[in-house]
Amino acid sequence: MAVTKEVQLKVDNIHMAFGGVQALMGVSFEVRKGEIFSIIGPNGAGKTVLLNCINGLYHPQKGKVEFEGKEITKSRPYQRAKMGISRTFQKLELFKGATVLDNIRLGRHIHLKTGLISGAIYFGKTAREEIEHRDFIEREIIDLLEIEHIRDKMVGMLPYGLQKRIELARALALNPRIILLDEPLAGLNLEEVEDMARFILDINEEDRWQTTCVLVEHDMGVVMDISHRVMALNFGEKIADGTPPEVQNNPQVIKAYLGEAEDLYVTRR
Amino acid sequence: MSHVGSWKETEITKDLTIPKLFLQAAKKYWDKKVAMREKEFGIWIPITWKQYYENVKQIALGMVSLGLEREDKVAMIGDNRPEALWAEMAAMCVGGVGVWLFQDSLIDEVKYIIDHADAKLMVGEGQEEVDKCLMIKDKCPKLRKMLWDDPKGMRGYDDPILISIKEVMKIGKEIDQKEPGLFEDIIMKGKGEEVCLLFYTSGTTALPKGALLTHYNMLTMGRNLMRVDPYFETDDFVSYLPFAWIGEQMMSISCGIQAGFTVNFPEEPETAQENIREIGPHVMFAPPRVYEQMVRNVQVKYLDASWSKRRAYELAMKIGYHVADLQFSKKPVPWYWKALDFLASMGVHKKLKDHLGLSRIRDTYTGGAAMGPDHFRFFHALGVNLKQIYGQTEIAGISVLHRDDDIKFDTVGIPIPDTEVKTTPDGEIISKSPSVFIGYYKMPEETAKALRDGWLHSGDTGFIDTDGHLVVFDRTKDVMTLGDGTKFAPQYLETRLKFSPYIKDVWAIGDNRPYVTSVICIDYSVVGNWAEARNIAYTSYPELSQMPEIYELVKKEIIQMNKDLPPVAKIKKFVNLYKEFDADDEELTRTRKLRRAFVEERYKDIVTGLYSETQSVHMDTNITYEDGRVIHIKTDLRVMEVPQ
């Protein structure tokens, strides 16, 4: 998708402390509609905390979060989900005892309009609604992520690489306007990383999706390859942001996070 | 000898073509009958003959506007899907010649075939095939356009050689509106003796050769096969094996269009087994590896099952085997055995067949390579009517077939009607029928070698037994001469050993050697499960294959098989290979036949090791991955002796 100038998500001077630990100290940034925006930084830099502040799991002590021009700092997570903010988790948050399809359907639940009783009777509008949602899941998600062969499998029985894909599938079921991806490549093998990177690009670029992605990731090769802009955090503070080459060549980033300059761009090929 | 039923035979004249029959069938069934089904987005989506006809018409006219003329070649690559069949039929309708490539072909193979066949158009499924086309287009100047149908991942492609099949159909539709009737006129111009398919044989030794098959060849083959086993328009068939394999063409095209049965396409290659079960086909033709995999699945489930289930299975199989053996030897089955077999069938066999997708099967065939007697008996014990087919691409797929009540698992049956098969004095199998091809494309010398006085020389050795059944020994060049001078088919050893669930591939060596040895490729998932159940830790195939416990496991399987062999043919030593044989490494053909001359050269260190006193062999080779990457491997392989 062509990256627009329009700011979709604005994070302004966020502070977040846990007891005596300052996890975020005045972080501000803007994500433009249609871009892949990556957040990098060493372990403990506050990347996941930042995502949690955006989708509402944490409420920052100071600062503002704006989504599409509306302030959402005080909104509950489900309200933000309804607005189109979706996320995946680094440590998978799936129902291991349920099937792949059921897990994905769960991500769709927020869009269900019919209630318990009409669901029990299952007639007319309710049935139509279910068929519509089914169609969406099959056409847009299962086909995109190539998981036809495991539709009816128990999630807990699947290899880790596929579980990561289901995590993404569930987040997509929300039909998000922006998707927060927390280390989607961690623990995957080379082939799975390539697949996942392709899916992220698909979600961002395919006409059907055109979804803004906020990516937290350690795999520098992929981050630098696919991101439009990158922000680097260190000890809860923003130390740089800009295009991948700008961040790569930022001396502070090199010093704080990446060690020696030649290690910075680690390609996977 | 042929069945008499409601089957109505098509009269095949020299004028009849596959498209003409297609036209007849489409008009006859129109929107009353489903021509094909594809599982998509989790649902089986029917396509009527009317839709089939309309789609083929639009693609065909679109192809003409792209410059396709009569006798031009159209190369096709991709998974089995309706669009593939439409494109092939469309090419044939306008007098073009279909050329199929295996979907997993590496770039050099694709380039060779596209270039050698002088293909003008290429039809591919999606991004993967498009990438292949873009890589070779500069080296294949005759290629004009590439058609693709799956839009996934195609957003960034704007090379002018590419055109989507939707666009082609749009062009075709416009032409049809301007000139209605044009399509049918073009079809009517076709003649039966025109070439419709250029089929590249996989070739266990040399470069692929392109066999030219005419409409007449394909149609007579289908008719002659159906004179033995008629298929009906109510039948279901699942198309999931590569179209580049003649067996799939034979069923989906030659028989499909004559019988008018419904062709079903699975959702994805990974879901094929599941989808077959959902459809429950009546007819099936597959190479032995498909059946071998089914047997392995059952065996693995058996190993994992509870005690009572295992006992039930053992008992039912014992009954099944006994009854099958009685039938094989054409002895009457006593009533009490029939009763027991019925119980076994209700209790176990029926369920097993359902899981394998064979619950409605009427005729099922194996061909293309040798199948072990153990596998064969297994299916008959379940009550599955599995029969051997023998033939070559050069005879449009099939010349010899088992009859329903006359099955011998060490033979391939008797010739189908209209077909003569005999052996030359030095044992080569030769055949003659209306389906024999007209020659290899641009290879007159090879044609002269294969076709002499109308007889097709197969290069296989065999003989005809006292019942008139053909016994295929092996490829002539593969027959081994053992230590004491007897001739022996290595395939026999290999197929026997492959009945073990732990062994995926075998290569038996012993030609002009003092004793027989073998190189074993273990089955990674089955042996892996076995190891996990015994707390044996491993990280990779190479590591697992070299574990002493696994060597012992394989040794036990070999000792078991050795029991039934004459002393000179017993396997004396073996090596577990550090990888599976793979077509990408050129060790197998695309139809998974072992290329002996090649592996002999590639693994000559192992062979030397097997015929010396050494305990281990050092290996230093490359492995090619599917995306073309080459990885260097260094490892030591253990040589193990099998106690006699």
Complex ipTM value: 0.81
B155 Cβ under 8 Å from any chain A Cβ: yes
Model pLDDT, residue B3 = 41
Residue A180 has pLDDT above 90, yes or no: yes
Instruction: Please tell me what DSSP assigns to residue B403.
Output: B
Long-range contacts from B156-165, C-beta under 8 angstroms, 24+ separation: B156/A205, B157/B127, B157/B130, B159/B134, B161/B133, B161/B134, B161/B137, B162/B130, B162/B133, B163/B66, B165/B59, B165/B83, B165/B87, B165/B123
Beta carbons of B611 and B514 less than 8 angstroms apart: yes
pLDDT score recorded for residue A117: 86
- pLDDT higher than threshold 70 for residue A258: no
Please tell me the distance from the alpha carbon of residue B361 to that of residue B153, in angstroms, as a whole number.
39
Give every residue of chain B whose pLDDT is below 50, as ranges. 1-5
A79 to chain B, minimum CA–CA distance in Å?
31
Q: CB of A205 within 8 Å of any CB in chain B?
A: yes
**A136 to chain B: closest CA residue:** B41
Question: How do beta strands B470-475 and B455-464 pair?
Answer: antiparallel
B chain contacts of residue A202, beta-carbon cutoff 8 Å: 152-153
Of A138, A198, A205, the CB nearest to B155: A205
Nearest CA in chain B to A195: B153
Worst-scoring range by mean pLDDT, A106-110, A159-163, B2-6, B329-333?
Answer: B2-6
User: pTM of the predicted model, to two decimals?
Assistant: 0.88
Partner-chain residue, chosen from A139, A206, A207, that has the shortest CB–CB distance to B41: A139
Pick from B41, B271, B274: CB nearest A143: B41
A202 at the B interface (CB within 8 A)? yes
Chain B hits for A135, CB-CB cut-off 8 Å, are 41
pLDDT at A269 over 70: no
* Distance separating alpha carbons of residues B418 and B221, to the nearest angstrom: 9
Nearest to B271 among A138, A149, A198 (CB): A149
Give the closest of A138, A151, A202 to B153, CB-based. Answer: A202
Do the beta carbons of residue B112 and residue B211 sit within 8 Å? no
At B619 the pLDDT is 83
The alpha-carbon gap from A143 to the nearest alpha carbon of chain B, in Å, equals: 7
**Residue B616 to residue B620: CA distance in whole angstroms:** 13
Put simply, whether A130 touches B (Cβ < 8 Å) is: no
Residue in chain B closest to A140 (alpha carbons) equals B41
Q: Which residues of A touch B267 (CB under 8 A)?
A: 148
Taking an 8 Å cut-off on Cβ atoms, the answer to whether A151 and B42 are in contact is: yes
Q: b vs e for A95-131, b when ≥16 Cβ sit within 10 Å of the residue's Cβ?
A: eeeebbbebbbebbeeeeebeeeeeeeeeeebeebbe
Q: How far apart are CA B87 and CA B97, in angstroms?
A: 11
Cβ contacts of B156 on chain A, cutoff 8 Å: 205
pLDDT of amino acid B644: 79
Chain A hits for B43, Cβ within 8 Å: 138
Confidence of residue A268 (pLDDT cuts 50, 70, 90): very low
The confidence score (pLDDT) of residue B303 equals 87
Nearest-by-CA chain A residue for B267 = A148
CA–CA distance from B13 to each of B17, B89, B98, B223 (Å)?
A: 9, 20, 21, 12
The mean of the pLDDT values for chain B is 91
Provide the terminal-to-terminal Cα distance of chain B, rounded to the nearest Å: 48
Task: Convert B234-255 to b/e letters by CB count within 10 Å (16 or more is b).
Answer: ebbbbbbbbbbbbbbbbbbbbb
